């Protein structure tokens, strides 16, 4: 439904990535509509995380084109892609363990000029913004805890909050539900839907199909590095090709 | 510790340092106090790069020595008279050392971790080699003398003491400002996960270089005062690897990355090592120093201040220390904590 | 420019490079296997030199022969040091290891000074200065023997690494400590043995160093900078890289000392290091340096 209304924010066009002789991603093509939540699913080893790495610049595609908002991302460094508004999380939540949750959230805040650099980061509205973000993630009570001491689920929330502090246009979530307690999952779903309402686009790699089917508008199925099906969640569950891919051959 | 208690603590230490030479007037005591202050300053400036950003340098005596030589040569070149006037040139020495540190830091910081440590050792050696070989500038192995002030033996160390104290206060203040700034937050993020910090837009290269250069400039001024106080500079006293190691060790003992840690570490260790060197011969000194070193790394790998912090925290918090050793959780772990947290939210 | 002089310098550099390679390869091995930068490695070299010296001075055992004593002894000492001081290192292993091994080096220096004194000594065998001439190039026997010993030990190490089960475990540990642990390799044991091997190689290097140079307990400090720079150039964890880098660096140094001046030759290590840092921080001769 969204696809027809919104322009495509992210487009992958015949993208391939080989490791040695093995094709991790093989002529993969799909598109993500602006302000949508797109699920990227597929059996283990189908190339989902590799696709994330390619989009976010952590590895370079061998062939094909990746366009974000009409501009080609191929070959750009992760930092540059991030500045274009594409953020990602990692399977093992990557946070700054020896900083507090609040400090974690303030790391990506951009500071201009020498004054911005020298001035204490605890001033000028940054703290308020960070607290607000933690509140939205139902994590206010851990604001001053070192993140290294938090549980896995809480770290994932902090990781997501850190990314959201710099107002990305598109967020790639790598298995956000894995190993996370269902209560945190509820917070996460609610937060994602809110942010999407505010105009953020999400792409989610996830094994938890219930989670995907609940919140995604559009689902792309990968198998052995190729797109084998895409469509609305309800259509995908009935798709024989997808069932075969998951059950194995 | 509350904020007010902390400020009171710092003020107490400052007042005690200001009064020290008035109470203890014995020159021998003052000379130990001077060396102790020197280490407080060195450990604090080392901490800006080594503690905040986690880039352990073993080459801080490169800049310590460079500052000493730069001071001697500048005073000679401008024909500065002995006495108090040389101290007015110290800021210039700091800036000069910092400027020299820019290209060196740029090259050294292209590496990380183990390689970086190694490169800083090489940096120290190359400065020492320069001091030996560039005879026309440095006087080679014989060294370079300072103008000699005509202060009495009883008074001699006092001016140096207060000059050193000033630079030390500046070093700690700089470390404080950095710690509270966007730069400091970025450095701490680099320490924890540099790739991630870079990926979310922290200008890691410039931040690291800034820390390197600030730390070098401070060390340069400290080295300049030290060299002036001993009146003579030559390659071995200018670039001493034991000074590099000492500064790093003291910061570790007190707690690298904290503001008070390096100060505390230096206040404990510097007088101890000086006293030790009076009582035992050189060989035994090395053995004992090495053993002490091993004991500190073994027993207090994270330093005194963080260990105390942990004690306080573990009393006030029910969160389990999960990350201490491996830095990773096993994926799919049952999140008992999350349940507690969510219950907390509902309340 | 005298061509004969240049050739002589190249040959000397090659032979001396082989000897340095013997010392540097142990350093690369310990880093590769254990993620430990052993800044005390050169102190072990000097300890080896003193053992050979004492055996030669008091019992008149030729330093090449006494290797059958000094190498096993240093192997055990190395294993002991590893188990006592390095095995427990976990957090920030690479960086803490520098502090620990520096402390070990100070301790070794102190012990050597305590028992052997701090006067400069040298292992002066009766063939120390004998040489032969080939194609106009004067070659001192000790250099040639040293090079051959270095090549022999490096060959044996290569065989050990490539052809034995232990070597396989060791290489797996170099590639990935954690993964090695998961497939049942006793990483702790492998590390201790690797450190022992490195110490034994240091003993052999020390015997040669002691024949070629005067030394005292503080000489480790002169040596460590050179060795560290060599392994940076060699790609840090590559034994082969370290060996090749030694040959290149020492030849470069010897040639430079002939065509410009010995003073300039002192800078050659640092010049090469600067070039590497600017052009290719991952090192020239080995596998890519692990970053982060």
Q: Does B7 reside within a domain?
A: no
Output the pLDDT for position C59: 92
Give me the residues paired with residue A38 across strands: A203, A218
User: pLDDT tier at A114 (50, 70, 90 boundaries)?
Assistant: low
Which positions 224-283 of B are in contact with C (Cβ < 8 Å)? 241, 245, 248-249, 252, 282-283
Burial (CB count within 10 angstroms: exposed 0-12, middle 13-18, buried 19+), residue B323: middle
- pLDDT, averaged per 10 consecutive residues of chain B (347 residues), comes to 85 94 90 95 96 91 96 92 92 96 92 85 89 86 89 90 96 93 91 87 90 97 96 90 88 90 93 83 85 82 78 55 35 35 34
3-class DSSP state for residue A17? strand
Q: What is the dihedral of CA C184, C188, C192, C197, to 10 degrees?
A: 30
Say how many C-beta atoms besides its own lie within 10 A of residue B330's C-beta: 9
Output the pLDDT for position A248: 59
- Whole-angstrom CA distances from B324 to A98, A100, A104, A136, C92 are 10, 15, 18, 29, 12
Measure the CA–CA gap between A59 and A69, rounded to whole angstroms. 20
Q: Report CB contact under 8 Å: C103, B114.
A: no
The answer, yes or no, to whether residue A123 has pLDDT greater than 70, is no
Of B281 and A142, the structure prediction assigns the larger pLDDT to A142
Q: Which of B118, B129, B241 sits opposite C221 (nearest CB)?
A: B241
B133 close to C (CB below 8 A): yes
Output the pLDDT for position A117: 63
Q: Report CB contact under 8 Å: B185, A117.
A: no
Output the pLDDT for position C46: 96
Q: Which residue has the tokens 């699913």?
A: A41
pLDDT average, residue stretch C138-144:
85
pTM higher than 0.95, yes or no? no
Best of A96, A126, A177 to mutate (most B CBs within 10 Å, chain B)? A96
Say how many C-beta atoms besides its own lie within 10 A of residue A16's C-beta: 18
Q: Which of B110, B283, B290 sits opposite C103 (nearest CB)?
A: B290
**Chain A residues closer than 8 Å to B344 by CB:** 141
- Whole-angstrom CA distances from B8 to A54, B162, B176, B307 are 53, 21, 16, 21
Which positions 267-286 of C are in contact with B (Cβ < 8 Å)? 267, 269-270, 273-274, 277-278, 281
**Chain A residues closer than 8 Å to B342 by CB:** 138, 181, 183-184, 187
The residue of chain B with its CA nearest to that of C104 is B290
Q: Does C284 reside within a domain?
A: no
Domain that holds residue C63: 3-223
Residues C217 and C105: beta-carbon distance below 8 Å: no
Q: Does C71 reside within a domain?
A: yes
Domain count of chain C?
1
Q: Which of C50-54, C221-225, C271-275 has the highest mean pLDDT?
A: C50-54
Q: Where would I find the beta strands (DSSP E) of chain C? A: 131-134, 137-140
**Chain C residues closer than 8 Å to B107 by CB:** 274, 277-278
Nearest CA to A154 among B293, B35, C59, B337? B337
C92 close to B (CB below 8 A): yes
Q: Which of B192, B319, B336 sits opposite A96 (nearest CB)?
A: B192
Burial (CB count within 10 angstroms: exposed 0-12, middle 13-18, buried 19+), residue A63: middle
| Shortest alpha-carbon distance between residue B317 and chain A (Å) | 9
Spell A101-128 as b/e; 16+ CB within 10 A means b: bbbbbbbbbebeeeeebebebeeeebbe
State the distance between the two ends of chain C, measured CA to CA, in whole angstroms: 46
Residues B320 and B336: beta-carbon distance below 8 Å: no
User: pLDDT tier at A121 (50, 70, 90 boundaries)?
Assistant: low
Q: Does C248 reside within a domain?
A: no
Q: Does C241 reside within a domain?
A: no
Residues C190 and C32: beta-carbon distance below 8 Å: no
Size of interface A-B (CB pairs under 8 A): 135
- Residues with Cβ within 8 Å of A182's Cβ and at least 6 positions away in sequence, in order, are none
Q: Does C68 reside within a domain?
A: yes
Measure the CA–CA gap between A214 and B15, rounded to whole angstroms. 65
C72 close to B (CB below 8 A): no
Measure the CA–CA gap between A142 and C79, rounded to whole angstroms. 45
Output the pLDDT for position C73: 96
3-class DSSP state for residue A233? helix
The answer, yes or no, to whether residue A70 has pLDDT greater than 70, is yes
Q: What is the mean pLDDT of chain A?
A: 84
Q: Which of B182, B257, B341 sits opposite A121 (nearest CB)?
A: B182
User: In chain A, what are the domains?
Assistant: 1-85+169-249 (3.40.50.300), 93-167 (no CATH)
Q: Report CB contact under 8 Å: A96, B342.
A: no
User: pLDDT tier at C292 (50, 70, 90 boundaries)?
Assistant: very low
pLDDT average, residue stretch A178-185:
83
Domain count of chain B?
1
Output the pLDDT for position B251: 92
ipTM of this complex: 0.82
| Shortest alpha-carbon distance between residue B336 and chain A (Å) | 8
Q: Which of C98, C221, C281 sits opposite B117 (nearest CB)?
A: C98
Q: Report CB contact under 8 Å: B290, C106.
A: yes
* DSSP-derived pairing of the beta strands A86-88 and A71-72: unpaired
B191 close to A (CB below 8 A): yes
Query: For residue B263, which phi and psi values (nearest 5 degrees)?
Result: -65, -50
Domain that holds residue B120: 27-240
Q: Does C288 reside within a domain?
A: no
Q: Which of B56, B294, B298 sits opposite C98 (nearest CB)?
A: B56
Measure the CA–CA gap between C243 and C231, rounded to whole angstroms. 9
Q: Report CB contact under 8 Å: C95, B126.
A: no
Query: For residue C280, which phi and psi values (nearest 5 degrees)?
Result: -150, 85
The answer, yes or no, to whether residue C207 has pLDDT greater than 70, is yes
B107 close to C (CB below 8 A): yes
């Amino acid at each position: 439904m969204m696809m027809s209304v919104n322009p495509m924010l992210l487009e992958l066009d015949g993208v391939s990535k080989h490791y040695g002789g093995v094709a991790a991603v093989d002529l993969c093509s799909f598109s993500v509509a602006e302000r949508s939540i797109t699920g990227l699913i597929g059996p283990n080893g189908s190339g989902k995380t590799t696709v994330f790495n390619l989009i976010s610049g952590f590895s370079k595609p061998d062939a094909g084109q990746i366009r974000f908002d009409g501009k080609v991302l191929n070959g750009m460094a992760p930092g540059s892609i991030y500045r274009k508004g594409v953020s990602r999380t990692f399977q093992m939540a990557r946070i700054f363990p020896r900083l507090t949750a609040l400090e974690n959230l303030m790391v990506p805040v951009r500071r201009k000029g020498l004054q911005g650099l020298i001035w204490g980061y605890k001033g000028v509205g940054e703290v308020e913004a960070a607290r607000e973000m933690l509140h939205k993630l139902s994590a206010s009570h851990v604001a001053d805890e070192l993140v290294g001491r938090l549980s896995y689920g809480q770290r994932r929330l902090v990781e997501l909050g850190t990314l959201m502090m710099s107002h990305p246009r598109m967020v790639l979530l790598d298995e956000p539900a894995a190993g996370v307690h269902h209560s945190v999952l509820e917070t996460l779903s609610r937060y994602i839907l809110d942010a999407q309402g505010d105009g953020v686009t999400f792409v989610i790699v996830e094994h938890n199909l219930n989670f995907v089917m609940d919140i995604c508008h559009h689902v792309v199925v990968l198998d052995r590095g190729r797109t084998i099906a895409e469509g609305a969640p309800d259509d995908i569950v009935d798709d024989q090709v997808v069932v075969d891919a998951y059950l194995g051959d | 510790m509350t904020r007010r208690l902390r400020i009171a603590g710092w003020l107490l230490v400052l007042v005690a340092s200001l009064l020290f030479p008035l109470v203890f007037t014995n020159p021998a005591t003052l000379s130990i106090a001077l060396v102790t202050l020197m280490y407080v300053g060195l450990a604090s400036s080392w901490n800006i790069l080594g503690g905040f950003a986690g880039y352990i340098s073993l080459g801080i005596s490169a800049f310590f020595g460079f500052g000493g030589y730069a001071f001697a040569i500048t005073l000679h070149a401008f024909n500065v008279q002995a006495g108090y006037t040389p101290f007015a040139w110290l800021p210039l020495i700091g800036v000069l050392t910092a400027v020299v540190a820019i290209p060196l830091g740029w090259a050294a910081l292209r590496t990380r971790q183990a390689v970086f440590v190694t490169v800083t050792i090489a940096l120290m050696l190359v400065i020492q080699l320069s001091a030996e070989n560039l005879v026309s500038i440095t006087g080679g192995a014989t060294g370079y003398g300072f103008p000699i002030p005509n202060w009495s033996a009883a008074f001699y160390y006092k001016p140096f003491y207060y000059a050193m104290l000033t630079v030390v206060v500046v070093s700690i203040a700089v470390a404080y400002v950095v710690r509270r700034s966007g730069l400091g937050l970025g450095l701490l993020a680099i320490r924890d996960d540099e790739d991630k910090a870079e990926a979310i837009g922290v200008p890691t290269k410039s931040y690291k270089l800034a820390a390197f250069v600030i730390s070098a400039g401070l060390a340069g001024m400290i080295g300049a005062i030290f060299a002036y106080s001993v009146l003579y500079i030559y390659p071995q006293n200018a670039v001493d690897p034991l000074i590099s190691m000492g500064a790093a060790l003291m910061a570790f003992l007190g707690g690298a990355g904290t503001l008070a840690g390096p100060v505390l570490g230096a206040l404990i260790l510097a007088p101890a090592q000086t006293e030790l060197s009076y009582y035992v011969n050189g060989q035994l000194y090395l053995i004992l120093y090495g053993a002490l070193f091993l004991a500190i790394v073994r027993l207090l790998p994270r330093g005194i201040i963080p260990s105390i912090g942990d004690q306080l925290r573990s009393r006030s918090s029910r969160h389990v220390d999960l990350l201490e050793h491996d830095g990773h959780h096993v994926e799919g772990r049952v999140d008992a904590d999350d349940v507690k947290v969510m219950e907390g939210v509902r309340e | 420019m005298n061509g004969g002089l240049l050739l002589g310098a190249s040959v000397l550099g090659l032979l001396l490079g082989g000897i340095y390679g013997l010392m540097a390869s142990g350093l690369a091995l310990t880093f590769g296997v254990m993620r430990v930068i052993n800044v005390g490695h050169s102190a072990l070299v000097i300890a080896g030199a003193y053992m050979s010296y004492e055996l030669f001075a008091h019992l008149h055992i030729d330093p090449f022969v006494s290797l059958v004593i000094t190498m096993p002894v240093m192997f055990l000492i190395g294993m002991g040091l590893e188990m006592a001081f390095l095995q427990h290192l976990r957090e920030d292993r690479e960086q803490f290891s520098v502090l620990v091994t520096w402390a070990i080096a100070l301790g070794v220096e102190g012990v050597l000074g305590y028992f052997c004194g701090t006067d400069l000594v040298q292992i002066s065998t009766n063939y120390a200065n004998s040489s032969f001439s080939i194609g106009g190039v004067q070659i001192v026997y000790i250099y040639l023997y040293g090079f051959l010993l270095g090549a022999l030990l490096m060959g044996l190490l290569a065989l050990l690494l490539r052809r034995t089960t232990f070597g396989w475990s060791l290489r797996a540990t170099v590639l990935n400590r954690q993964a090695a642990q998961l497939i049942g390799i006793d990483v702790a044991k492998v590390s201790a043995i690797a450190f022992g091997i490195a110490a034994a190689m240091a003993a052999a290097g020390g015997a040669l160093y002691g024949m070629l140079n005067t030394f005292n307990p503080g000489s480790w400090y002169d040596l460590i900078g050179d060795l560290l720079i060599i392994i940076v150039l060699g790609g840090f964890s590559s034994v082969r890289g370290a060996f090749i880098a030694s040959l290149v660096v020492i030849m470069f140094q010897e040639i430079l000392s002939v065509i410009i001046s010995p003073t300039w030759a002192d800078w050659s290590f640092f010049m090469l290091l600067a070039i590497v840092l600017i052009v290719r921080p991952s090192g020239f001769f080995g596998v890519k340096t692990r970053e982060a």
